[in-house]
Structure 1
Amino acid sequence: MENNIRVAEQWTTGVNERDIKGVLKVSDPHIELIGPRGIAEGHDILQQWIKESGIKMETQDYYAKGNEVVCVQKATWENQNGHVTIYTFMDIRNGKVHRLGRYDTLDDAFGQCQLSEEDKVE
């Protein structure tokens, strides 16, 4: 579990710093990306998203068990005031993010995995 949280931290830091090489290093080549605009797959789409999203995420809490991690994050976007709370689900295997989803509620994130309130990392 601790290794998976470390991978989640590396992934988030890489996105925040626009470190495409660093994010790809901890992302499966066929990473599945689930977001408000639908589902996409692969490094090419991930690279494009990192370049264009302008997102910065600050992780507030983690829920983790097995291969799954949900990050509770304060998100801001370039050229926008304020922030929103997002819930980022990651399925991490062998040190790489295989599946990632961004959700507007914790319940929606939990609906994509086996995690629950009991899995909050203290």
Structure 2
Amino acid sequence: MTGPQGTARGRDQMRSWVQSAGIRLMPKEAYDVPGGIVVAQEATWPGRPDFDSGAAPAKLFTTFGLRDGSICAVHRFETLEEARAFPIAA
């Protein structure tokens, strides 16, 4: 899993990030790419102390690498073009 805070590996790391990030992701669109999918999402951070409920959601693009029916990789990007160009290792 990669994003603005760096890279981490493993289910426990992913679980810990989901529990601590304070993020809410709303999927808006999905695109098939070789080895996985790209999901366009609106992101807010209601779990953060500096959350501004009046602020517009951020638009993010996340690639999900898929292997044997499971997610094997997650990478966050600022644009659809970056996400689609990223080689997903399947």
TM-score by length of 2: 0.81
**Does 1:45 pair with 2:13?**
yes
| Percent of matched pairs sharing the same residue | 27
CA distance in 1 between counterparts of 2:87 and 2:21 reads: 25
Query: Unmatched 5+ residue regions in structure 1?
Result: 1-32, 115-122
2:30 alignment partner, SS class: strand
CA distance in 2 between counterparts of 1:37 and 1:60 reads: 23
Residue deviations 1:45-73, cap 9 Å, x none? 11210111111111111111443100001
Matches within 5 A, 1:28-107: 33-78=1-46, 79-81=51-53, 82=55, 83-107=57-81
Is the CA contact 1:72–1:86 (under 8 Å) kept in the aligned structure 2?
yes
Q: State the Cα distance separating 1:108 from its structure 2 match.
A: 1.4
> How many residues are aligned here?
82
The aligned amino acid for 2:52 is Q
Residue deviations 1:86-107, cap 9 Å, x none? 0010111112110110111111
RMSD value, Cα: 1.6
Is the CA contact 2:33–2:84 (under 8 Å) kept in the aligned structure 1?
no
TM-score by length of 1: 0.61
Higher helix share: 1
List structure 1 runs of 4+ shifted beyond 2 angstroms: 79-82
